[in-house]
Chain A
Amino acid sequence: MSTPIKLELGGAASGSLRRMQNRMFLCLTGAAALTLLVPLFGILGYLVTRGIGAINLDFFISLPKPVGETGGGVANAIVGSLMVIVMAGAAAIPCGVLASVYICEFAPGSRFSSIIRFVCDMLNSTPSIILGIFAYGMVVLRMGHFSALAGAFALFVMMTPVVVRATEEILRTVPNSIREASVGLGGTRWQTVWHVVLPAARSGIVTGVFLALARVGGETAPLLFTAFGNQFWNLDPRQPINTLPVQIYKFATSPYADWHRQAWAAALLLVIMIAVISSTVRALTARR
């Protein structure tokens, strides 16, 4: 795709009109790219200037205060978010990696593999709020109440196809020659996968998994009527639990100025967490 040939661009336009038109439209594409900076810096700027004031030690270690009292924090939401994401990841990562090993190594090109791939694309493009309804029907209605488990289930359904597609892409980049080498030495299929292909693809898979975690970590919609939210501490996966994105939504849609301040702070925290995860992963893989 990327060729070493470097084209010498034609500056030979005869009419000055054509030259002007050329310059104008090329500038417009640059302007389009520059314009994208406006919303990005608009959002980041407001997050920092409005959020930083409400961040203090209390913000990290105490519970949300009831209406009318100022102060308080989002400690339970931070822990809750981590719990839900870890539960979702613990199910989605093995499931996703195994499925893509099936697609790429055990049955490449088979009919069932292309069905799995199609289903992953469909699940991937399903609106996240629909996955919330799905988890509501599967878990909440059957348990009789909201729970952290239901939230984790919704995020699991969302995360699995992302892991499958990311892993698949990496497995495709593993050269066939090393598979042949393994088979030539008498390695069976599983030995080849376990001792040769997966180690070769490890860093790429880790990247994909962390990017998927970062993506579901900011999700609100699937948690609204599954994990629901909780004003208090909860570490029991069978009970409703508070999460950072849902807490931001509650703060933001309330009519209280102090809660708005905390919404900005919590949003700043969430974006920093996501940015740290994804940029660390990117930096680590770029070095290899």
Chain B
Amino acid sequence: MEKKPGSPVRLFSTYARSSTRRVRLMDGIAGKGTMAAGLLIVALLVLLLNEMFRLSLPAICHFGIGFFTSSDWDPQGERFGVLPFLYGTLVSSAIALVIAIPFGIGTALFLTELAPQRLRGAVAFVVDMLAAIPSVVYGLWGVFVLAPLMQSHVGPFLEKTLGFLPLFRGPFYGGVSMLTAGLILAVMVVPFIVAIAREVLLTVPVDLKAASYALGATQWETIWKVVLPYSRVGIGGGVVLALGRALGETMAVTMVIGNQPRINASILQPGYSMAAVLANEFNEASSKLYLSVLVEVGLTLFLVTFLINIAARVLLWRMRSVHPH
């Protein structure tokens, strides 16, 4: 066979013949080496769990189950309860999802069903950019642009029109509130929902849509009665994945949620989230117990996101087993 320099044929024949021993050795080393890298990654998760338990053990022993039922947060008096933070994390994430779901799915539908090819690239670019902006920059914008806007316009408007509900009652504190945090979070998780919903929508078989059109359905009727029911489970998985993101989001939330460890019915009032209390107080923890309590808050956050992500994976996996493609 003709041997050109650089052609794969030459590379392999020479390697295999002249240095069989070395090659075999190399094969063994490579197999072990790559496996070691995999082991290291698994070890990281084990170490992470171990470290969190080790550091939070004093708090777990000291407070027991009371930690999850108390809403006191008094570092000086050493009385700690995680409830206000759990509440703040869940409520701000729920607000984010309520806002992000229609926009996310709407955009994904527009991308897959409607937009002409040229527009598709532009919309995808916008979504990518939103995903690429760092959390702290969202926070900066939230503090100096969104919060004043909430204080001067959105808050008073909501109170005037919907103030009969306890959900929308003042007074306002400079525009920082659960709703502000939820709004920022919504912008941050929309790209996730769009990305996954788009992927799921692309798997809808063309035959199904064609059948629907053949029966005389309009495009919207096809989307509503064929496309969305078909992709329901997968989109659900994407939404739950986005929820996982929102729960753990730290910087932007810390900067706009108001950082008040109180449980308030009104979303126009400040709250606090688990990630935010870690960002604010971890460096100020003066006693061993205080630090241990904060790690336990972290552990709680970890377990909540862990469960949410398992749920998302189950949904996405179910979609694949129901509609194998």
Contact = CB atoms under 8 A, between A and B. Distances in A.
Interface of A: 1-3, 5, 7-10, 12-14, 18-19, 21-22, 25-26, 28-33, 35-37, 39-40, 42-44, 46-47, 50, 94-96, 98-99, 101-103, 105-107, 112-113, 115-116, 119-123, 125-134, 136-138, 157, 160-161, 164, 181-182, 185-191, 193-196, 214-215, 217-221, 224-225, 228, 245, 248-249, 252-253, 260, 263-264, 267, 270-271, 274-275, 278
B132 interface: yes
A265 B70 CA distance: 42
A119 B134 contact: no
B130 A39 contact: yes
Interface of B: 8-9, 11-13, 15-16, 23-24, 26-27, 29-31, 33-38, 40-42, 44-45, 47-48, 51-52, 54-55, 102-107, 109-111, 113-115, 123, 126-130, 132-141, 143-145, 187, 190, 202-203, 206, 209-210, 213, 216-224, 241, 244-245, 247-251, 255, 275, 278-279, 282-283, 295, 298, 301-302, 305-306, 309, 313, 325
Contacts of A7: 206, 209-210, 213
B52 A128 contact: no
Given A129-B279, A225-B282, A270-B137, A32 B220 contact: no
A214 B123 contact: no
Contact of B139 (A5, A191, A252, A274): A252
B250 to A, nearest CB: 4
Given A7-B206, A102-B34, A126-B302, A191 B23 contact: yes
B37 A94 contact: yes
Contact of A190 (B27, B48, B203): B27
B283 A127 contact: no
A275 B44 CA distance: 30
Contact of B30 (A44, A189, A260): A189
Contacts of A267: 136-137, 140
A260 B282 contact: no
B281 to A, nearest CB: 10
A22 B302 contact: no
A125 B244 contact: yes
7 contacts: A21-B220, A29-B109, A29-B114, A99-B40, A113-B38, A126-B305, A137-B55
Please indicate which of the listed interface residues A28, A137, A219 has the most CB atoms of chain B within 10 Å of its own CB. A137
Nearest to B141: A43
B256 to A, nearest CB: 11
Given A95-B37, A193-B30, A271-B134, A130 B301 contact: yes
A161 B244 CA distance: 17
Given A221-B275, A224-B282, A271 B13 contact: no
Please indicate which of the listed interface residues B29, B31, B134 has the most CB atoms of chain A within 10 Å of its own CB. B134
Nearest to B45: A119
A18 B218 contact: yes
Contact of B221 (A22, A137, A245): A22
Contacts of B15: 187, 191, 195
Contacts of A164: 41
Given A190-B30, A224-B279, A245-B134, A25 B250 contact: no
A143 to B, nearest CB: 15
B95 to A, nearest CB: 15
Nearest to B139: A252
Contact of B34 (A9, A14, A106): A106
A116 B40 CA distance: 9
Nearest to B218: A22
A185 B9 contact: yes
Contacts of A98: 33-34, 36-38
A2 to B, nearest CB: 7
Contacts of A215: 132
A129 B130 contact: no
Contacts of B249: 127
B12 A191 contact: yes
A31 B54 CA distance: 50
Nearest to B219: A9
A134 B16 contact: no
B127 A26 contact: no
A42 B134 contact: no
